[in-house]
A and B are shown apart, each in its own frame.
Chain A
Amino acid sequence: AQSVTQPDIHITVSEGASLELRCNYSYGATPYLFWYVQSPGQGLQLLLKYFSGDTLVQGIKGFEAEFKRSQSSFNLRKPSVHWSDAAEYFCAVGSRASGGSYIPTFGRGTSLIVHP
């Protein structure tokens, strides 16, 4: 069964600083990987996804992630954090399920705190 580990429960950065959120996955086949963001009181929004091809994936809001198969990692990065980036971030790995559906397994999330 697949699993996702986000080692950092909380991360604090200063506005304007760079950011890297860690994600490690366990999956037997080629993984489908995702990063989602959740603002307080909201649902999750897809930031970016990786299925195949270029291992550096660009997403919305200036985020990018790099897939490293040898390290089973899919870390999320942003060169300069804005106060509005403060949120909960979830990494997920997906697998096929019944009827052509597709089930992501989510990590427990990393809470990003941005100091002015």
Chain B
Amino acid sequence: DAGITQSPRHKVTETGTPVTLRCHQTENHRYMYWYRQDPGHGLRLIHYSYGVKDTDKGEVSDGYSVSRSKTEDFLLTLESATSSQTSVYFCAVQPTETNYGYTFGSGTRLTVV
């Protein structure tokens, strides 16, 4: 599983509070991605990173920010959580620049009440 760990696995938080999800990888992959998965929508890209401090927005980036201060960690922050951000969040890594088969983490189930 490319040594991907997502934390926490489950979280319940209140509307308006900040939340940070962590993706940790142990294999020094350059490219990392955050997706959210919702019924009927498949997976949608939130943000991605192509190196330390190099990030870009995806399809559904509003309300989310990311940081990557070291290769192994890619953090996703919900600045002020809303109920529409209740979802399952997946981190993925791209093994190399020419290997396009992603490896996914096990996901974080976030509930905003």
Co-complex (A, B): yes
Residue ranges of A at the interface with B (Cβ–Cβ < 8 Å): 32, 34, 36, 41-46, 49, 51, 90, 94, 97-104, 106-109
How many pairs of residues, A versus B, come closer than 8 Å at their CB atoms?
70
B7 at the interface (CB under 8 A from A): no
User: Of A34, A94, A100, A104, which contacts B50 at CB under 8 A?
Assistant: A100
CA distance A108 to B41 in the complex (A): 5
Q: Are B100 and A94 in contact (CB under 8 A)?
A: yes
Q: Are B104 and A45 in contact (CB under 8 A)?
A: yes
Known: A43-B92, A97-B48, A97-B50. 11 other contacts (CB 8 A): A34-B100, A43-B90, A43-B104, A43-B107, A45-B104, A98-B54, A99-B51, A100-B30, A102-B100, A103-B33, A108-B41
User: Of A41, A46, A107, which contacts B102 at CB under 8 A?
Assistant: A46
Closest to B57 in A: A98
CA distance A101 to B50 in the complex (A): 6
The smallest beta-carbon distance between B77 and chain A, in angstroms, is 20
Neighbouring A residues of B42 by C-beta, 8 Å:
90, 106-109
CA distance A34 to B92 in the complex (A): 15
The smallest beta-carbon distance between A1 and chain B, in angstroms, is 10
Neighbouring A residues of B33 by C-beta, 8 Å:
101, 103
